[in-house]
Amino acid sequence: MLRSLRLVSAFLSRSHFRGRWGVIGSSSTGKMIFHGVSAGSCFVAREADKELIELHEGDVVIFTRGCEHRMVSAKDASVIRVTDVPMRRDGATPIFEMGKTGDETRLVCGTFRLDHPAHASVVELLPPVLVGRARSDARRRWSSATMSLIAEGLSGSEPGSEIVSLADSLFVNALTEAAAEARASGPSQDERPSGLFAAARDPRIGKALALVHTEPSADWTAAELATRVGMSRTRFFDTFSKLVGEPPAKYVARWRALVAADLLRKNNALSTTQVAEHVGYSDEDALAKVFKRYMGMSPTEYRRTLMAH
């Protein structure tokens, strides 16, 4: 599913903090903010939350809404805005530094976004905070080594494609670990009962979503998807609707509209009729009806808006 949504990484900084410290990270509209602990430990939370989350070496936290957040060495540590922290540059990469003595915490920090019109829809289905913990020695070694390679690759220049690929794998690993931890601990009091994260815990509903994302032009009825994932139609319909938050037909229609929007945005050579065929509709009128329902305008109007910008 992430491949179909084109995960894009952009690095912001590295941070080297010693002793007692605390920072408030700025918000980033339209992006997901991540912090990976490559050495040491710290506490993190959204600025609106009271409860702090403890992170150790190899752990990654992702603020999916790009919200303001605080990071501290101790729960009672005072904080300053990250923009007030002394900063130097190693080539193109900013390095924030605080403290001269004491235990050191090193962070790799940056943003993720989905290069797709479905970005906002998908992010809304994720929890506001994802914590990918290195729950085994092997995972910790892999995560720490990955972050070290990212930090090394950032030194002195803009990140190359291999560093971006490492960051993408870090995100996917964090998402996988967060889902596994939530599945093991069971639902919490404030956990959303539906959404992409909940659906990802169910291997059959997750497989159905992946099928829809991979082949949007296929004739995906609830019965066909149920057969493909080994469930009865009734049980599949009920489970899908509960976990995803909407019935299969509505999800398929929404995804097709978003794929169509992406094609209109990325490929000017395709006619609207060809776009309709790519996403499983027999003609332009059938696409236009669904497209307007989810995008608020016709495909032609959408393309005209894109050209105006």
The three-class DSSP label of residue 274 is helix
- Reading the block at residue 294, the tokens are 């989810």
pLDDT value, residue 188: 45
Q: Which of 118-127, 223-232, 298-307 has the highest mean pLDDT?
A: 223-232
* Domain ranges for the chain: 2-185, 202-309
Instruction: Report pTM.
Output: 0.75
Average pLDDT over residues 102-114: 90
Fold annotation for 202-309: Arc Repressor Mutant, subunit A (1.10.10)
Question: Given this model, what pLDDT does residue 186 score?
Answer: 56
Query: Quick one: pLDDT at residue 193?
Result: 46
Q: What is the pLDDT of residue 36?
A: 92
H or E stretch at 280: none
Phi first, then psi: give them for residue 67, nearest 5 degrees.
-85, 165
Q: Which pLDDT belongs to residue 192? A: 44
pLDDT digits (tens, 9 = 90+) for 16-55: 999 999 999 988 888 899 999 989 999 999 988 889 999 9
Produce one character per residue of 111-139: b if its CB has 16 or more CB atoms within 10 Å, e if not. bbbbebbbbebbbebbbebbbbbbeeeeb
Q: What does the pLDDT average to over 102-109?
A: 94
- If pLDDT is split at 50, 70 and 90, which confidence band does 191 have? very low
Report whether pLDDT(72) > 60: yes
**E strands, 172-264, in order:** none
202-309 and 2-185 share a CATH fold: no
- What is the residue-averaged pLDDT of the chain? 86
Whether the Cβ atoms of residue 23 and residue 79 lie closer than 8 Å to each other: yes
List the structure tokens of 95.
């390095």
What is the spatial order of strands in the sheet that 7-18 belongs to? 87-90, 93-98, 7-18, 104-114, 32-39, 60-63, 129-132
Strand spans (E) along the chain: 7-18, 22-25, 32-39, 41-46, 53-56, 60-63, 69-72, 80-81, 87-90, 93-98, 104-114, 129-132
CATH number 2.60.120 given to 2-185: yes
When pLDDT is cut at 50, 70 and 90, the band that residue 245 belongs to is confident
Residues 163 and 57: their CA atoms lie apart, in Å, by 20
HSE-CB at 195 with a 13 A cutoff on CA atoms is 13
